[in-house]
Amino acid sequence: MDDGGGLRLDMNGLDYLILALYFVTVLGVGFAARRAIRTSVDFFLSGRSLPAWVTGLAFVSANLGALEIIGMAANGAQYGVMTVHYYWIGAVPAMVFLGIVMMPFYYGSKVRSVPEYLRLRFNRPTHLLNAISFAVAQVLIAGVNLYALALVMQALLGWPLWTAVLVGAAIVLAYITIGGLSGAIYNEVLQFFVILAGLIPVTVIGLVKVGGVNGLMDAVRDSKLGEAGLHAWQDTGTTANPLGAHWLGIVFGLGFVLSFGYWTTNFAEVQRALSAKNMSAARRTPIIAAYPKLFIPLVTVIPGLVALVTVKGLGAESGDLQYNNAIPLLMRDLLPNGVLGVAVTGLLASFMAGMAANVSGFNTVFTYDIWQAYIRRDRSDEYYLRIGRWATVAAVVVGIGTAFIAAGFSNIMNYIQALFSVFNAPLFATFIIGMFWKRMTALAGFWSLLLGTLVSLSLYLLYKGGVVNFNSDLEESFWGAGLAFATAVVVAAILTPLTAPKRDEELRGLVYGMGGVDLKGDVLAGDAVWYRSPVLLGVIAVALAALFYIPVF
């Protein structure tokens, strides 16, 4: 399994200086953000004060966690160019939809979280169900992110696992407890640039090594992927392609249900937009994020392909040559000290960004949607601010615990991702019907969400138990998500006529066509210019995604 050197990088003092400088800056940002916190909304939503470019980059950064960098490079090596589906059809359209269509209801109703929207639109049981499942999922994923961070630090730097877990957790804990969401968001913007600074040199030297884009294409044709590794849509009329997915599955499963479920209802993402300073900035947040998202495959999929053709034996079941190590292997082979330090810093930044998004989403939902709504009502704002800080500490401590649980499973990342995406599909169905069909009743909302989740969960367990068979985990998640979506729709259609609707006044600002949404709310003079129009920016992003497919069709 071992190819000689292991994964250990040859870091010198200057590389460590670059890493240390980053850690100091991250903590400094947390401390400096502290003076801007006086109320709970300052702590949980940055006082709704941030400009669109900041919230937009934080929005994309919150998603640039372990799964994104390591996982998408691994997918690039394993499935080839088809990996771009996760970006161009599996992310950009949903991000644009969130900004143009859904954000007016989220931001305009002044809800402080995604579960809170469900409380206003439906009822308290729906709210509590979603708040608890979101909170549990966030601490689990935070633990997985932390464990992945520790694994990389152990492999690359030789740090013991528990030291790496504690150091990573302590830094995230410090800057969120002290600096709140502003600390998290500001660091995410910084992380975005550091991650790019780390990945671009790997990509550039990788391309030089294989003789440019043409050299890479020739080499991929000769690899085990072959010609199929260079096409995104070819052979998707059947499942005989690297991803094993039919185009229907790609378009409706990945592009619609999974992607819309993740991007439009995941509060760890939506929270970034809710912290924007006005309606225009909130709507532009996910759309501005869509632009970097269009280009990120350049620095994940290309290194994955380079690793495939340059690292002999890549794709082993275990050991150092797993697909997951594509980027660390290239860093080891290609980067001299200096940019190596920047690249390691970028990798660690990406893990911390992922974990910080989970923790800051958790503390808000825990405080506003569980503690304030069901446990201790009518306390002072200072009280909830304090609870938020303690919830952050609790989330990180539990995250350390779940990190060690994650250590006991070989590929828990896949499980959690599958489960999470399956939880999102019925949530998205409930949201989208509730937002556009004013007649949908509170009871219908609750049962749609619950039964949709149970159906997808059952299918997942049946698949894992070997009762139902699919070609791949991916195919199972497409079907699970689709079935959950369909269940939620059918339940809503059956229960709504049988139960009492909400009054129109209660739905104002929450449902399409009911009024109460002010798209021009709090506009600044500069927001009216054409290049800040959310609709125009969104249309361009989607058009670019379609255009990008042409050379790799």
Q: What is the rounded CA–CA span in Å between residue 149 and residue 128?
A: 31
Q: Is 470 left (phi over 0), alpha (psi -120 to 50) or beta?
A: beta
CA-to-CA separations, 411 to 81, 342, 414, in angstroms, rounded: 24, 28, 6
Cβ proximity to other proteins, 227 vs 518, nearer residue: 518
Q: What is the rounded CA–CA span in Å between residue 532 and residue 285?
A: 11
What lies within 8 Å, CB to CB, of 451 at 6+ separation is 426, 487, 488, 491
Least Å distance, CB 494 to other proteins, is 26
- Quick note: the x/- pattern for other proteins over 108-147, rule CB under 8 A, is xxxxx---x--xx---------------------------
Q: Applying CB under 8 A, what is the total number of residues that bind other proteins?
A: 78
Selected binder of other proteins within 27, 54, 416, 488 (CB under 8 A): 54
Cβ proximity to other proteins, 54 vs 481, nearer residue: 54
Footprint of other proteins on residues 350-389 (CB under 8 A)?
A: 368, 372-373, 381
Selected binder of other proteins within 123, 133, 234, 337 (CB under 8 A): 337
User: Do 521 and 509 meet the contact criterion of CB atoms below 8 Å apart?
Assistant: no
Footprint of other proteins on residues 396-415 (CB under 8 A)?
A: none
Q: Does 524 interact with other proteins (rule: CB under 8 A)?
A: yes
Q: What is the rounded CA–CA span in Å between residue 300 and residue 202?
A: 10
Selected binder of other proteins within 89, 418, 510, 545 (CB under 8 A): 510
Q: Does 480 interact with other proteins (rule: CB under 8 A)?
A: no
Selected binder of other proteins within 16, 23, 404, 512 (CB under 8 A): 512
User: Do 76 and 422 meet the contact criterion of CB atoms below 8 Å apart?
Assistant: no
Q: What is the rounded CA–CA span in Å between residue 63 and residue 262?
A: 10
- Radius of gyration of the chain, Cα coordinates, nearest whole angstrom: 23
Selected binder of other proteins within 132, 197, 450, 489 (CB under 8 A): 197
- Quick note: the x/- pattern for other proteins over 170-189, rule CB under 8 A, is ------------x---x--x
Q: What is the rounded CA–CA span in Å between residue 520 and residue 280?
A: 7
Footprint of other proteins on residues 272-291 (CB under 8 A)?
A: 277-278
- Strand extents, DSSP E, 166-293: none
Angle, alpha carbons 413-418-420 (nearest 5°):
95
Cβ proximity to other proteins, 40 vs 236, nearer residue: 40
CB atoms within 10 A of CB 141: 29
Q: Which of 489, 482, 481, 507 is nearest to 429 (CA)?
A: 489
Q: Does 25 interact with other proteins (rule: CB under 8 A)?
A: yes
Q: Does 226 interact with other proteins (rule: CB under 8 A)?
A: no
Q: Does 201 interact with other proteins (rule: CB under 8 A)?
A: yes
Q: Does 391 interact with other proteins (rule: CB under 8 A)?
A: no
Q: Does 539 interact with other proteins (rule: CB under 8 A)?
A: no
Cβ proximity to other proteins, 104 vs 286, nearer residue: 104
